[in-house]
Structure 1
Amino acid sequence: MTLDPLLIAGLGFALMLLMIAVHIPIGIAMGFVGMGGFAMVVGWGPALSLIASEPAATLTNLNLAVIPLFMLMGNLAASAGLANDVYNIAHAFIGHRKGGLATATVIGCGGFGAVCGSGVATTATFGRVALPEMLERGYAPSLASGSIAAGGTLGIIVPPSTIMVLYAILTEQFVVDLFTAAIIPAIIAVTFYTLAVRATVHFDKSAAAELAPLPWRERFRALLQGWGVMVLSISVLGGIYSGFFTVNEAAAVGVVIAFAFLIARKGLDIKELGRILVGASTTTAMIYIMVFGATIFSYFMSVTDAPSMIVNGITALNMPPAGVILAFIALYIVLGAFFDEVAAMIITIPFVIPVVQHLGFDLIWWGIINVIVIEIGMITPPIGINVMVLNAMRRDIPLQQIYKGIFPFFIADMFRLAVLVFFPALTLWLPGMLN
């Protein structure tokens, strides 16, 4: 009995979700279902060939080489204390204002995002750096934790971003265009989060204490001590945007600079270096396995013609394009609450991208919207990966307190998303100027 390819696609997708639900790693679930489904449609010979050729092609893909480099650069920078430097600068200049430490945390997360590229890593880093500082100075646990969980999402919208690299590779877009398109949305994100802090301390006077301003000598000292972050971010991003470096070369230069700062500040500690390498390697391996699985699963979806059927089905509904985009946005917010940012994007690309292309939307614009809605999902109940990371680090702060603190930032995210959806020029203007 021969099953209809579309039915096989539906059963395969359901099986993949079931496997993920029982905690089978996402990349393995996608690869297993993709291979089995491809074999049912095309045959076991081509399927077995596929699981040999695709991982090999992924491992030799030079564009993907930037991922381990950015991961290593972020780990080296965090260990060298560059996150502390960013936070100390913001703290020195605005920390004395009402809610200033929470604002400094948001700005610090944005600055560290420029040398990290991971939302979860940014959250974990500032959970160690900023949270004790705010709690010691009389900040409400809700505002302190909320500003870190929300600020941590900036790690994936401030370029360079690992998830943007993956999106560019999987959708065949130019990664520098994505990095450029993210600049204005990232500035808007930091601005709106700052306004969210101001609104919180305005309506809840007990949320934050006013502190004495630091002397100007201390402020300039913090600024001078933070020169390392500036050197690293300017070297990497300046090299990319000027065309002096390719993205891979810029990432490699970033690793060397971050390593030099680590040696200069802490010396050569073999145990610490081993921990950094293991951390970067573990995350990279997880991402590569997801890419293996996603590629095989995409082949399976292609041979069943499921993406075309989905496009035709949505077209037959006569929904306006804006309605389809809003439905996708809602989907990603839900997925982001349950999956990490990479998984949420990889699972859906085989279905979503053909529809977005068919509707005539720019894939660079959609890439930025995609990242933003996944950001929102990272702090959305019932899970929210950033919330879980912060709660695991500080069991003394209940989940309810963290979610209470996140609410103003969630509202700010909704406004930011609306602005960028209805005014695409804010995303596409800079890439257009540079091209």
Structure 2
Amino acid sequence: MTEVSAGLIGIAALFLLMILRTPVAFAMLLVGFFGYWGLSGFRSASAMLMTESYSAVSSYSLIVVPMFVLLGNVASAAGYSRGLYDAAYAWVGRLRGGLASASVIGCAAFSAVSGSSVATAVTLGKVALPQMKRLGYADSLATGAVAAGGTLGFLIPPSTGFVLYAILTEESIGRLFMAGILPGILLCALFMGVIWLQATLRPEDGPKGEKIGWAEKLRISSEAWPLFGVILVSIGGIYLGVFTPVEASGIGAGLVILLALVQRRVDWTGFKEAVLDTLKTSAMLYMVVIGANVLNPFLAITHIPATLGAQLETLGLGAYGTLIVILLAYVVLGMFMDGLSMLVITIPIVFPVITGFGFDPIWFGVVAVIVIEMGMITPPVGMNVFVVRGVAGPGVPLTTVFSGVTPFLIAMVVGLVLIILFPQIATLIPNTMFD
């Protein structure tokens, strides 16, 4: 058996284990260890397992994950997400579909502290969906806006997707965080455009909200300023070079905890639950990183990435033709796999191909994350769709949520095409900041 054949069998075994509902971290761990054992022997496989596991969890940059997760959990427990939503509604509520637009803005703002798509969708869904239902919004528009807005949690920094991408590719977390800002704003604007268009064509689906005076707008917005301040300090500090992403995560988490305690927005029970949720999420992500680190050496000795690159070159598609093939493969995988699984399994395989064609690895990180975001709202998996449907209650069918996210999915495709045609959208800030 050739090494390439062993690699293909290993990939097939990986997908089989995932179909059998084996957690992705353990599926990668098993395939990586036993595959390496079959090709290099038990002794080498054991040494690889120990060294790769240790190097994965001892990575200093990985501290970003639990710190930003803690930041988001404490902010959610303290009710700061409601302040973000109310502030957004105060400014855009009078627009057609204003409440849905406020949901998208609230999702974008909360993404800047949570770093999680699912957490963003759940947190803002609990706040926004009852309000939209009360004002007579169509279920499809309301749930579609929250599900699509939640995907911004995977793109707008701090993003766990960018952290994992950086670890897998040895790229700069800071550059990736900065690269996600303008694409995140672009997608947010496109989502709001979709809402406005739908509400214009069908006014009954997204009625205007009540008019709010300037004094009241400023008063309501003041409730969100503490969290906005944390966002500005943590993300702005990275941009200005005052501190690293790791330091920013610790400072941000510390500030949110301090604010929540000083303002008495969270009690001991709420704080303990936030810490426990952080431990669970962080343990899961650490296991995913360990599994990816064990799988990568197996893929390397099977020469799968090099073989894939050679095969794609023989097709004569060129750089952008190859990129389109890879992105289409992501779209198909996104129908059956969750985002983190796609990221950790595919990046070690396609990254050498992408860099071989001369694409900017930071730019591709943004493109890959957006395509993975699309998988979060496409059937049949669509994690955000199922989450929002659970928050909306049994009265909203799953088909209604999927139909609601379809226009937003089209908007994401438009945004992706713009970023491919104009890479500066993703590279402008990191290149300006670090060059």
Q: TM-score range by the shorter chain?
A: over 0.9
Residue 317 of structure 1: how far off its partner (Å): 1.5
Q: Secondary structure at the residue paired with 1:130?
A: helix
**Equivalent residues of 1:80, 1:265 under 8 A apart:** no
Amino acid at match of 1:163: G
Percent identity reads: 36
Residue 337 of structure 1: how far off its partner (Å): 3.2
Residue 268 of structure 1: how far off its partner (Å): 5.9
Count matched residues. Answer: 433
> Separation in 2 of the partners of 1:210 and 1:424?
36
- Which residue number corresponds to residue 219 of structure 2? 221
Q: Is the aligned partner of 1:239 residue 2:237?
A: yes
Amino acid at match of 1:256: G
> Separation in 1 of the partners of 2:280 and 2:374?
25
Residue 138 of structure 1: how far off its partner (Å): 1.0
**Equivalent residues of 1:80, 1:261 under 8 A apart:** no
Which of 22-31 and 76-85 deviates more?
76-85
**Equivalent residues of 1:339, 1:385 under 8 A apart:** no
Q: Is the aligned partner of 1:120 residue 2:122?
A: no
List aligned pairs for 1:87-106, cutoff 5 A: 87-106=85-104
Residue 272 of structure 1, aligned match among 270, 273, 278: 270
Residue 52 of structure 2, aligned match among 50, 54, 58: 54
Residue 333 of structure 1: how far off its partner (Å): 2.2
List aligned pairs for 1:135-214, cutoff 5 A: 135-214=133-212
> Separation in 1 of the partners of 2:169 and 2:9?
25
Residue 248 of structure 1: how far off its partner (Å): 0.9
- Which residue number corresponds to residue 433 of structure 1? 432
Residue 305 of structure 1, aligned match among 299, 303, 306: 303
- Which residue number corresponds to residue 248 of structure 2? 250
Q: Secondary structure at the residue paired with 2:335?
A: helix
Residue 160 of structure 1: how far off its partner (Å): 1.5
> Separation in 1 of the partners of 2:41 and 2:325?
35
List aligned pairs for 1:19-38, cutoff 5 A: 19-38=17-36
**Equivalent residues of 2:174, 2:244 under 8 A apart:** no
Structure 1 runs (4+) deviating above 3 angstroms are 265-268
Residue 417 of structure 1: how far off its partner (Å): 0.8
- Which residue number corresponds to residue 65 of structure 1? 63
CA deviations over 1:147-206 (Å, ceiling 9, x no partner): 000000111111111111111111111111111221211111111111000111122222
> Separation in 2 of the partners of 1:221 and 1:165?
36
**Equivalent residues of 1:338, 1:385 under 8 A apart:** no
Q: Secondary structure at the residue paired with 1:200?
A: helix
- Which residue number corresponds to residue 131 of structure 1? 129
**Equivalent residues of 1:143, 1:207 under 8 A apart:** yes
Q: Where in structure 2 are there 5+ consecutive unaligned residues?
A: none
> Separation in 2 of the partners of 1:269 and 1:183?
33
- Which residue number corresponds to residue 411 of structure 2? 412
Residue 281 of structure 2, aligned match among 274, 280, 283: 283
> Separation in 1 of the partners of 2:226 and 2:432?
30
Residue 336 of structure 1: how far off its partner (Å): 2.7
Which of 259-268 and 336-345 deviates more?
259-268
- Which residue number corresponds to residue 111 of structure 1? 109
- Which residue number corresponds to residue 43 of structure 1? 41
CA deviations over 1:44-68 (Å, ceiling 9, x no partner): 1010111122111112110111111
**Equivalent residues of 1:80, 1:258 under 8 A apart:** no
Residue 94 of structure 1: how far off its partner (Å): 1.4
Q: Where in structure 1 are there 5+ consecutive unaligned residues?
A: none
TM-score by length of 2: 0.97
**Equivalent residues of 2:168, 2:348 under 8 A apart:** no
- Which residue number corresponds to residue 352 of structure 2? 354
Which of 178-187 and 110-119 deviates more?
178-187
Amino acid at match of 2:219: R
**Equivalent residues of 2:99, 2:209 under 8 A apart:** no
> Separation in 1 of the partners of 2:264 and 2:307?
57
Which of 170-179 and 26-35 deviates more?
170-179
Which of 7-16 and 421-430 deviates more?
421-430
Which of 228-237 and 334-343 deviates more?
334-343
- Which residue number corresponds to residue 336 of structure 1? 334
Amino acid at match of 2:86: N
Amino acid at match of 1:54: E
> Separation in 1 of the partners of 2:19 and 2:278?
26
List aligned pairs for 1:372-411, cutoff 5 A: 372-393=370-391, 394-411=393-410
TM-score by length of 1: 0.97
> Separation in 1 of the partners of 2:98 and 2:298?
51
Residue 267 of structure 1: how far off its partner (Å): 5.7
